[in-house]
Structure 1
Amino acid sequence: MAETRETAIPTQRREQSRRLAARAAEAVRAVDVDRLRELAPHLALAAVFLIGFSLDALLRYQRFGAPSWDLGIFTEEVKGYAHFGAPILSIKGPGFNALGDHWSPIVALLAPLWWLWPSSAMLLVVQAGLFAWSVGVVSDTAERLLGGRSKGLLIGVAYGLSWGLQRALDFEFHEIAFAVPLLAVIGRQLLLGRWDRAAWWAMPLVLVKEDLGLTVTAVGVVLMVMARRWAAGAVLVLFGFGCMALTMGALIPHFNPQHQYDYWSKLPDGGHPRLWHLLLAPFTRWTVWKTCGWLFGIVGFLALRSPLVLLALPTLAWRFGSANPMFWGTDWHYSATLMPILFLALVDVVARARRSRRPLLKGFAEGMVPASAAIAVACTVSLPVGLGGLADPGVWSGGPHAAALRAAVAAVPQGVRVESTTGPLSRLAARDDAYWLGGSKPVPPDYLVIDTAGWNGGPSDLPAYGAALHPGARYAVVFDRDQVSVLRRQ
């Protein structure tokens, strides 16, 4: 009998353990199902924006609507990583290493996708996915803090349609595509009081671009201001400053052909600015004031009441302090990283205003939730950029000129050295050793692809033009249609 009892006790304990494990598993499944139901509308919203962003980007790609050489540059960078080599940017010059231009090693994460889809279009879809991810993060965070699914979705729609993201879509892929969802997640963790998570999510920003080290520093300051987390905040401040100093002072010059950081020259006074000039000059520029109006106006200027707006200050400082007017305005992709900060700051202020004793502030803050979506829709309709541009029937078909460009690209063999104008450059960079027109001086290219549409006084004798670009080389026209020509070296 004693032996029977001794053997029965472990059996009972094992049975109890199995029951407890089963109950725990059921509880976890129940929590997962409930959380998935909560996330479903925000995932659906992110999926809608993914489709819209991808459609806009791919239509532009199909009609060769490249506004610059940047997509070709990033195509060469990803191709270099995918081939287990250095990220050489032939478009910028023979042997030019991407790490000597901007510090963006995070782009190497796209190498496995290149093995599956070796095309510039892949980069555009990835950027659309990263932006759409941030839409879901902002939308779900807004619901958590404000309560009510509709409020979260309205904020998500307003953010997804924000002009900063739309401008970035118009100017194709850039490394800041990785920073946008990272900043959305950082803002979410700060608003939910998950201080350690916010710190960990901030650290990868230093791999996106060298100036984002200052944004990491700003996250440390926000941790001190919002949570009195002095140790974690001090670590982030030192980490952000240290990484920025290391990349600008040592790493980028190491890979740069001239062993320097090229963008110091963008500062006033030729890279040696006087402090008073650096601080006061932005306030004298009307373009800067207009940009601030566009940035803070889309959230009713309420973001200025949130500590989260400190995260935007580093980006605004280098842009407005620069001597390059291109950084001051609302064009290009420079405002995309500010959008998640501003909209999550709006969420923060609306949540705080509910505890305010001032009914005017409380009413205005609550009204900005639907108003922000209305403002975003109005901007999308009135500005022919991003998703707003889809209303133009011309974007759905590139017409005969796009067909001529596709035929010209097909006329160039794979694996050759080719120089090209901006339009077809990214497609050629995906399969050839591609250079911007006139950029391969040491060794004349095998082919020239020239799109003269929009040129004022373009060359009438293309072979002579090719010979002038590369003295000693002779070229013959092998394709000519609708102002698009392909020249082959004889």
Structure 2
Amino acid sequence: MSSPRLLSCLLFAAYSALSVNRHRQMRSTGYDLGIFEQAVRSYAHLRPPIADLKGPGFNLLGDHFHPILVLAAPFYRMFPSPVTLLVLQAALLALSAVPVTRLAIDFCGHRAGVCLGLAYGLSWGIQQAVVFDFHEIAFAVPLLARSVELLARRRWSAAAGWALPLLLVKEDQAFIVAAIGVYIFRQGHRRLGALVTAAAVAVGALAVLVIIPAFNPHHSYPYDKTAGSISSLPVPVTKEETILALLAPTLFFALRSPLVLLAVPSLLARFWTSNPMLWGSRFHYNAVLMPIIFIAFADGLARMRASGRVAALRGARVAPILALIIAMCVPQPLWRVLDPASWRVPEQVRAAEALLRIIPDEADVAAANRIAPQLTGRCRVFRFLSEPTPQFRPEWVATTGAPYEQSMIADLPSLGYSVVARAAGITIYRRTRTVLRDSGRLRRGAG
């Protein structure tokens, strides 16, 4: 087995262990693992991608344009579990290390290339995607890694062919595809570059202006400059710190390659929004930038080697090793898999799992965020806080009693719910046949 493939297999094992173990310990969330499981589960049964956690009957194509999720459906049909999505994501992210490492070996030599590929696999952008549930963006990472590798090898048509499927991953990938088109255009292949750029603009505009509004209940695109702003949360880092964090793992040698410019449109789009969560280094938002940054790193080192200067040759040999040392020294989630204590499932979690078995399969449940992905594989799950309402009352409710839930919990008796069981910090309610007061009128709760 070649070094790039062996490295990919090792990363797959580590990524899978991290994300699956996190789910086993009930640290995954309805936003977003539960939402994507609902959509993929619908696809697996040849139905539209309904995600009730976003709202009863909500078609997830009204949130983002990601038809590529259909590719996950056959795997989910064979293994219907949220774990399937986590393992699939781990495989996709690990697969992206193959083109990165292969190019690095060809451009920098075997030892330096393997070090660079491992530094990529351990990069914070990839690890943050692994450790936070499942996202459709996992499909983009290997596609982008292969496309940028081909750009570095000056294989323009093949690079364009691998870039265009990115438009089916998510509407914001149009920024990167357009950048790839412009890059090809600037390299002298104007017709091909113009076609790729035009395709990116056309598909991106179609998704944002037509397709998503057509499926959205408000008939609009829900993510403009201000939509989704989470102003109550602290900003984890500034925009400048995010740029520094992206370039520092490459010792800034990525700046020696024009390929690094492919990351600029995507970053500008994120920094333009008023949602501070999009500016920082957490979650999955930076995963697609990692292949660009590290392939630019390898390309920049190759340009240094080509210069023939002694200092440049020495720097090109040492830089990948230093990058790997930096990646290994920075505290990251992946190191948890080396801690035996992290593999133990707490008794409280086991008690919670037993409690949730009270809720029967195929039941309608309004569940708290941390509980939702434990139920989405076998129940129709709604978001507790949004549901229940006087107009829509699922039969079951499962809460964690978190402070932000208290107001809604206090309303449950008036909506016809009573406690069924309580353990491990979870309380389960069930709708009962009681007389309710709603806007001054008596209503008989449904059984």
Question: Same fold per TM (> 0.5)?
Answer: yes
Specify the SS of the correspondent of 1:485.
strand
CA distance in 1, matches of 2:141, 2:99: 11
Partner of 1:296: 247
Paired with 1:215 and 1:367, the residues of 2 have a C-alpha distance of 30
Q: How much does 1:268 deviate?
A: 11
Task: Tell me if the contact between 2:385 and 2:405 (Cα under 8 Å) persists in the aligned partners.
Answer: no
Alignment match, 2:321: 370
1:267 shift after superposition? 7.0
Aligned to 2:436: none
Shift of 1:348: 0.4
Question: Per-residue displacement from partner, 1:319-359 (whole Å, max 9, x unpaired)?
Answer: 11111111111111111111111000001011111122554
Shift of 1:157: 0.6
372, 394, 397: which one aligns with 1:425: 372
Partner of 2:422: 480
DSSP-derived class of the 1:336 partner: coil
Percentage of pairs with the same residue: 37
Counterpart secondary structure, 1:476: strand
Change (3 A) 1:136 1:80: same
Q: Deviations over 1:57-97 (max 9, x none)?
A: 11001000125620000001101111111111110111211
Equivalent-residue separation in structure 2 for 1:365 and 1:321 (angstroms): 35
Alignment partner of 1:437 out of 380, 384, 404: 384
1:458 positional shift = 6.7
Contact 1:78 1:110 in 2 (8 A): yes
- Alignment gaps of 5+ in structure 2: 230-235, 433-447
Q: For the Cα contact (< 8 Å) 2:367–2:384, is it kept in 1?
A: yes
Give 1:479's aligned amino acid.
A
1:361 is displaced (CA, Å) by 3.9
Counterpart residue type for residue 480 of structure 1: R
Equivalent residue for 1:263, pick from 210, 218, 223: 223
Give the distance between the partners of 1:352 and 1:220, measured in 2 at CA. Answer: 23
Partner of 1:173: 134
- Looking at structure 2, the residues matched to 369 and 116 of structure 1 have their Cα atoms a distance apart, in angstroms, of 41
1:241-252 correspondence to structure 2 within 5 Å: 241-252=201-212
How do residues 139-158 of structure 1 correspond to structure 2 at under 5 angstroms?
139-147=101-109, 149-158=110-119
Specify the code of the residue in structure 2 equivalent to 1:449.
Answer: A
2:17 to 38, 55, 60: 55
Q: Which has the higher helix share?
A: 1
Do 1:180 and 1:337's aligned partners in 2 also have CA atoms closer than 8 Å?
yes
- SS in structure 2 of the partner of residue 266 of structure 1: coil
CA distance in 2, matches of 1:299, 1:407: 47
**Aligned counterpart, 1:230:** 190
Q: Indicate the residue corresponding to 2:441 in structure 1.
A: none
SS in 1 for 2:163: helix
Matching residue of 1:15: none
8 Å contact 1:176–1:209 — kept in the other structure? yes
1:243–1:461 distance in 2 versus 1, CA, 3 Å = closer
Question: Is structure 2 residue 428 aligned with structure 1 residue 466?
Answer: no
CA contact (8 A) 1:408 1:449 kept: no
User: What is the alpha-carbon distance in structure 1 between the residues aligned to residue 104 and residue 313 of structure 2?
Assistant: 17
- Number of residue pairs the alignment of both structures matches: 424
**Which of 302-311 and 54-63 deviates more?**
302-311
How far did 1:131 drift? Answer: 0.7
Deviation at 1:461, TM superposition (A): 11
User: How far apart are the structure 2 equivalents of 1:250 and 1:178?
Assistant: 23
Equivalent residues in 2 for 1:74-473, closer than 5 Å: 74-147=36-109, 149-225=110-186, 227-266=187-226, 287-356=238-307, 358-379=309-330, 382-383=331-332, 385=333, 387-440=334-387, 441=389, 442-452=391-401, 455-456=402-403, 459=406, 465-468=411-414, 471=415, 473=416
Instruction: Determine the C-alpha separation between the residues in 1 that align with 2:381 and 2:34.
Output: 8
Q: Letter of the 2:347 partner, please give it.
A: P
Task: Give the drift of 1:460.
Answer: 11
In 1, Cα distance between equivalents of 2:404 and 2:245 = 38
Residue 397 of structure 1: CA displacement? 2.2
Cα distance change on mapping 1:368 and 1:239 into 2, 3 Å: same
In 2, Cα distance between the equivalents of 1:478 and 1:74?
29
- Measure how far apart 1:163 and its partner are: 0.4
| TM score, norm. by length of structure 1 | 0.83
Give, in whole Å, the separation in 2 of the partners of 1:289 and 1:122.
36
Contact 2:30–2:53 (CA<8 Å) still a contact in 1?
Answer: no
Give the structure with higher Rg (CA): 1
- 1:117 is displaced (CA, Å) by 0.6
Note if contact 1:414-1:432 (Cα within 8 Å) is conserved in structure 2: yes
Moved more, 363-372 or 207-216: 363-372
Shift of 1:390: 2.7
Structure 1 unaligned blocks of 5 or more: 1-38, 270-284
Secondary structure at the residue paired with 1:434? strand
Q: CA deviation at 1:239?
A: 0.7
Moved runs in structure 1, 4+ residues, more than 4 A?
391-394, 457-462
Distance change >3 Å, CA 108–CA 268, structure 1 → 2: closer
CA RMSD of aligned residues (A): 2.1
Per-residue CA deviation, residues 288-334 of structure 1 (Å, 9 max, x unaligned), is 11111110001011112212112211210111111111111111111
